[in-house]
Chain A
Amino acid sequence: MQHATITRSTQASRIAGILALCFLVYIGAAPWWAGSADLRLITEILFYLALASMWNLLAGYAGLISVGQHAYVGLGGYLMFSCVLFLGMNPLWSIPVAGVAGALISIPVAWLVFRLKGPYFAIGTWVVAEVFRLSAAQMSSVGGGSGLSIPVAVMRDLGRKPDREMLIYFTAFALCVGAILLVYFLLRSRVGLALTAIRDNEVASSSLGVKIGRIKLFVYVAAAAVTTMIGALIFVTKLRISPDAAFSVNDWTVFVIFIVVIGGIGTIEGPIIGTLLFFLLREFLADLGAIYLMILGAMAIGIMLAAPKGLWGLLVSRYDFSIFPVGYRVRR
Chain B
Amino acid sequence: MEWINVIVQGVLIGGLYALFAAGLSLIFGVMRLVNIAHGDFIVGAAYLAMVTITMTGLHPLLSLVIVVPLMAAIGYAIQLGLLNRVLGDDILPPLIVTFGLSIILQNVLLTTFSADSQKLNAGALEIGSIPVLPGVDIGYMPLLTFVAAVAIIAGLQFLFYRTSMGRAFRATSDDGEIAQIMGLDNRKVFAWAMALSMAVVAVAGVFLAIRANFDPFMGPSRLIFGFEAVIIGGLGNLWGTLIGGIILGVAQGIGAQIDPGWQLLAGHIAFLVILAVKPRGLFPRID
Instruction: Give chain A's interface residues, CB within 8 Å of chain B.
Output: 59, 65, 67, 112, 115-116, 118-120, 122-124, 126-128, 130-131, 134-135, 137-138, 249, 254, 257-258, 261, 265, 290-291, 293-294, 296-298, 300-301, 304-305, 308
Contact = CB atoms under 8 A, between A and B. Distances in A.
A304 B107 CA distance: 20
B80 interface: no
A interface majority secondary structure? helix
B269 interface: yes
A116 B261 contact: no
Nearest to A261: B96
A297 B95 contact: no
B272 interface: yes
Interface in B225-248: 227-228, 231
B79 to A, nearest CB: 14
B128 interface: no
A300 B99 contact: yes
A123 B100 contact: no
A201 to B, nearest CB: 11
Contact of A122 (B32, B90, B95, B264): B95
Interface in B87-129: 90-97, 99-104, 106-108, 110-111
A304 B264 contact: no
Given A112-B276, A123-B227, A308-B93, A290 B107 contact: yes
Contacts, number: 117
Interface residues of B, number: 45
Given A301-B100, A305-B86, A290 B110 contact: yes
B220 interface: yes
Contacts of B106: 293
| Shortest Cβ-Cβ A-B pairs, 5 listed | A119-B34, A115-B279, A297-B103, A297-B100, A290-B107
A127 B99 contact: no
A65 B91 contact: yes
Contacts of B104: 293-294, 297-298, 301
Nearest to A300: B100
A134 B111 CA distance: 28
Contacts of A67: 36, 99
Given A120-B34, A254-B103, A130 B97 contact: no
Nearest to A254: B103
Contact of A138 (B34, B227, B261): B261
A127 B268 CA distance: 7
Contact of B111 (A131, A254, A291, A308): A291
Contact of B101 (A124, A254, A297): A297
A254 B104 CA distance: 12
Given A122-B36, A304-B96, A131 B107 contact: no
B92 A265 contact: yes
A134 B271 CA distance: 15
A115 B231 CA distance: 11
A131 B32 contact: no
B8 interface: no
27 contacts: A65-B91, A67-B36, A112-B275, A112-B276, A115-B279, A118-B32, A119-B32, A119-B33, A120-B34, A122-B95, A123-B36, A124-B275, A128-B272, A130-B221, A131-B268, A134-B264, A261-B96, A291-B107, A291-B111, A293-B103, A293-B106, A297-B100, A297-B104, A300-B97, A301-B96, A301-B100, A305-B86
Contacts of A118: 32, 34, 91
B265 A126 contact: no
Nearest to A131: B268
B224 interface: yes
Contacts of A296: 103
B233 to A, nearest CB: 13
B268 A294 contact: no
B140 interface: no
Given A134-B261, A135-B265, 13 more contacts: A65-B91, A67-B99, A119-B28, A122-B95, A123-B36, A127-B228, A130-B264, A138-B262, A265-B92, A304-B96, A305-B86, A308-B90, A308-B93
Contacts of B224: 123, 126-127, 130
Contacts of A301: 82, 96-97, 100-101, 104
A180 to B, nearest CB: 21
Contacts of B94: 119
B223 interface: yes
A78 to B, nearest CB: 16
